[in-house]
Amino acid sequence: MPRTREEPLDFLGGLRKLSKTELEFMKFIWEYPEGISSEDIYHHFPQSRGTKGTILYHISEKGYVVNEQRGRHHIYNALISESEYEQALIRQQLQQLFGENSFERLIAAFCGKKKLNERQAEQVRKLIEELKNDMEDE
């Protein structure tokens, strides 16, 4: 079965979305912020050695990890955090579902409205800006 090309995630600089299996590997890699050896990864997953190597290669090619050779093994370090990936997925889904003003439309739908009035929309925009500024300060 040929591989399908995953859609790019606009909110991660266009990195392609991870497949289900790639995501499983990334979740394991994210558990080791200091990096994890290929040997440890190979022992954790049931796929054949060649398949595991291919999955790690795809994750690396997509830009989610960097690997450094140490002796016979590679050490994999995540370049994107799990929360960054999840946020990008959510933002992409919201934009596809609700369009450009996705957060405003989501709030309106949550409240049972078709859309927010201008004052409400401005309050939502201010809240978003405040949250972004708070995140930058952390």
Q: What are phi and psi of 65, to 5 degrees?
A: -135, 160
Together in a domain, 55 and 105? no
pTM metric for this prediction: 0.74
What type of residue is 78? A
- Cα separation, 83 vs 97, whole angstroms: 21
Q: 69: domain CATH number?
A: 1.10.10.10
Indicate the helix (H) or strand (E) that contains 76: strand 73-78
Neighbours of 52 (CB within 10 A): 19
Which are the contacts of 42, defined by CB distance < 8 A and separation ≥ 6? 49, 52
Domain extent for 113: 82-137
pLDDT confidence of residue 1:
47
Together in a domain, 89 and 131? yes
**Of the candidates 78, 94, 120, which is a domain's last residue?**
78
pLDDT confidence of residue 137:
65
Residue 29 maps to a domain: yes
Residue 124 maps to a domain: yes
pLDDT confidence of residue 100:
66
**Edge-to-edge order in the sheet of strand 73-78:** 36-37, 73-78, 65-70
In sequence order, what are the beta bridge partners of 70? 73
Q: Is 88 helix (H, G, I), strand (E, B) or coil?
A: helix
* Number of separate domains in the chain: 2
Q: What is the pLDDT along the chain (138 residues), one digit of tens a residue?
A: 455 567 778 778 889 999 999 999 999 999 999 999 999 999 999 999 999 999 999 999 999 999 999 998 899 999 999 999 998 888 888 777 766 666 677 777 777 877 778 888 788 778 877 877 776 666
Together in a domain, 20 and 72? yes
